[in-house]
Amino acid sequence: MPELPEVEVLRSHLHECLPGLQVRSVTVLKPRITRPVTEAQLAQALVGATFRAVLRRGKHLVFRLNQPQGHDAWMHVHLGMTGRVRIDPAADAFPRHAAVTLALGPRDLRWVLVDPRQFGRVGLGQPHGLGPEPLDDAFLPEHLALALASSRQSIKARLLDQSVVAGIGNIYANEALHRAGVRPSRPAMDLRPAEIQRLHAAIRHVLAKAIAMGKAMELDFADGMDGLFYFGQAPDLESSESPVPSAVEAWGVYDRAGQACRRCGSLIQRSMLAGRATFHCPRCQR
């Protein structure tokens, strides 16, 4: 499931090729992806508009376009579990699992959201209800402390709440908590200031490291490895739940139940927390 780093890498690739291209038509093949927005509403907002920038907010891709009359049009995309955005030649057949497509001029290209499991979402305007961007300079430990202060929820569940910090999902929540030495089940309000400082730094470290690994990878649309990766590996298109073994080599705890902690050698434990697989080291994480 793509989290902030995977979306950021895809954003940077799309930002290299989309600006300057104009939307000629909109085709919605899977209406649940755009609901409640209809194909006609998407077309009305986007046809004739030119892509200006591809931005990111949390796990959302945010597309800024500009209409010939001068006003901006915004579209945002959440990739859900298996969504990908790719740019194909317009003459190609629609790829398998194509959900939403935009025909683009003047170079006869096509923007395509591919989504086998259809948990992705496309909307107009900008995404709402998101907390701070963890990699922004403006995001300080004090902001994290404030968001945790009055919550009895587990710290892991808090980190998955997109209104606390935008863009963290299950993998990077597990990884950040291990790096910070904080047990995932701790009530958020019980974290001490020093632990919040460490967690703040750990969140930024694991996300920045993953982005750097992803940006070092070649794009290969033909193999479906279109900018999505998990610590350096693109998962198989159909099986987002089972990352390839080499991806696991880079993780500290995620998907490493029963294996030795890289820091202390204790065996990593797996549990369920807020309905999500949770991994922690019983010795390093207190």
Closest by Cα among 40, 115, 41, 119 to 83 = 115
Site string for Zn ion, 204-243 (x = CB under 5 A): ----------------------------------------
Which residue of the set 56, 57, 59, 110 is catalytic?
Answer: 59
Task: State the nearest-atom distance from the C-beta of 268 to Zn ion, in Å.
Answer: 8
Give the CA angle between residues 102, 13, 175 to the nearest 5°: 115
Question: Distance (Å, rounded) from C-alpha 29 to C-alpha 230?
Answer: 28
Which residue of the set 30, 204, 215, 276 is catalytic?
Answer: 276
Task: State the nearest-atom distance from the C-beta of 283 to Zn ion, in Å.
Answer: 5
Task: State the nearest-atom distance from the C-beta of 275 to Zn ion, in Å.
Answer: 25
Nearer to Zn ion, 112 or 281 (CB): 281
The reply on whether position 264 binds Zn ion by CB under 5 A is yes
Let me know if 55 is exposed, middle or buried by CB neighbors in 10 A (0-12, 13-18, 19+): middle
The reply on whether position 155 binds Zn ion by CB under 5 A is no
The reply on whether position 286 binds Zn ion by CB under 5 A is no
Site string for Zn ion, 66-105 (x = CB under 5 A): ----------------------------------------
Residues 6+ apart with CB under 8 A from 73: 45, 46, 49, 64, 65, 66, 67, 124
Question: Distance (Å, rounded) from C-alpha 3 to C-alpha 207?
Answer: 9
